Amino acid sequence: MTNDTPSLIRALNGETVRPAPVWFMRQAGRYLPEYRELRKQAPSFLDFCYNVDMAVEATLQPMRRFAFDASIIFSDILVLPHALGQDVWFVEGEGPRLTPLTDPSGLSFKGFDAHLAPVYAAVSGLRAALPAEKAVLGFCGAPWTLATYMIAGKGGAEQWPARTFAAREPETFDALINILTEACIRHLIGQIRAGADAVQIFDSWASALDENGLERWSIKPIHRIVEGVRAQEPGVPILGFPRGAGHGYLPFVRGTGVDGVSLDWTVTMAAAKELQRETCVQGNLDPARLKEGGTQLDDAVRHICEHLRDGPFIFNLGHGINLATPPAHVTQVIEGLKTHTA
């Protein structure tokens, strides 16, 4: 590792880094006025994601404003189902919509790489635009989380459609998970070859799975993704985010072999320290505290830093930033955590 090795990568390689590296999930987006301005220029959210110049610009916006140590490429997890041939669109003010999937045999890798080429071009553009000490992050949605959107055709809280599908037709569900596992491996390798220094796998709906479900639909496929990516691109750290997995976090870390784990805000500091003995931990400020600001925010940042600063640690939110968040609160957090982890 050289002096230019990004602090985030050093933490993911097991170093205790002072001050702690920081980035925020959804750090690009609607809480920034310059994002809302740029967003108006694209006919749709997916057009925005596939426009290389716009994606690079949206990714750079928070990097200009804030002292983040890493930059996650502006894209979306749902570009993968789209690249596999499923219809995907976004309804303004509501969220994603897909034509609900009943039979995974209709999905196809034909044209997959060409469809995602703009994402890789944006990663290259971003890597060229940022100094070496800032890490560029690629990402994908985990197979289970992607499947929940693909089966329901929209977001949902409890993922009833995907859970009942998996319980009713486990072999068909396995076939879908296998296709998505392959798609995730290819998409992460594409981003790494374009210049990503590390990647994160978002299993945002891990919270909906029971113990056996977590093992079969989250941990096993993510382990295969980790092994598949490492076989072709060894040495690029992989973060996993099994949001809401609770007592499943430790089996997730052990079973997947990830280099770092992103913690949602419900994970206690005692549990986080236990996980930190196995891997780098990232997290886990409640986005609601960030939105509200004030001394309760300073206190929450200090609480996390005091518990996690003596091991491999990346400061982040426990989930994506809320669109009503005042940008000044982000500066407040970064200043606070740099002091508390100096």
Tell me if residue 197 is catalytic.
Answer: no
User: From the candidates 35, 50, 149, 249, which is the catalytic residue?
Assistant: 149
Do residues 217 and 180 lie in contact, with contact meaning Cβ atoms separated by under 8 Å? no
For tokens 């859970």, what's the residue? 163
Give the helix, strand, coil percentages of the chain, each rounded to 5: 55, 15, 35
Closer CB to ligand CP3, residue 44 or residue 296? 44
Q: How far is the CB of 18 from ligand CP3 (least distance, A)?
A: 25
- Helix ranges, 130-169 (H): 143-152, 160-168
User: From the candidates 4, 10, 30, 47, which is the catalytic residue?
Assistant: 30
User: From the candidates 26, 127, 163, 289, which is the catalytic residue?
Assistant: 26
Q: Look at residues 284, 280, 282 and name the one whose alpha carbon lies nearest to residue 318.
A: 284
Q: How far is the CB of 62 from ligand CP3 (least distance, A)?
A: 7
Closer CB to ligand CP3, residue 148 or residue 279? 148
For tokens 């933490």, what's the residue? 11
Closer CB to ligand CP3, residue 30 or residue 302? 30
With CB atoms as reference, the residue minimizing the distance to ligand CP3 is 204
Tell me if residue 224 is catalytic.
Answer: no
Tell me if residue 39 is catalytic.
Answer: yes
Q: What 3-state DSSP class applies to 109?
A: coil
Tell me if residue 277 is catalytic.
Answer: no
Closer CB to ligand CP3, residue 74 or residue 311? 74
User: From the candidates 18, 47, 64, 76, which is the catalytic residue?
Assistant: 76
Alpha-carbon distance of 276 to 261, in angstroms, equals: 9
Alpha-carbon distance of 183 to 61, in angstroms, equals: 29
Tokens representing 103 are 């039979």
Q: Find residue 88's DSSP bridge partners.
A: 98
Q: What 3-state DSSP class applies to 217?
A: helix
Q: How far is the CB of 164 from ligand CP3 (least distance, A)?
A: 20
Q: Find residue 285's DSSP bridge partners.
A: 317
Chain residues in the site for ligand CP3 (CB under 6 A): 25-30, 39, 45, 72, 74-78, 95-96, 139, 141, 155, 202, 204, 320
Ramachandran class of 48: left when φ > 0, alpha when ψ lies in -120 to 50, beta otherwise? alpha
Q: How far is the CB of 196 from ligand CP3 (least distance, A)?
A: 13
Q: How far is the CB of 11 from ligand CP3 (least distance, A)?
A: 19
DSSP code of 85? T
Tell me if residue 76 is catalytic.
Answer: yes
Closer CB to ligand CP3, residue 244 or residue 311? 244
Active site residues: 26, 30, 39, 76, 149
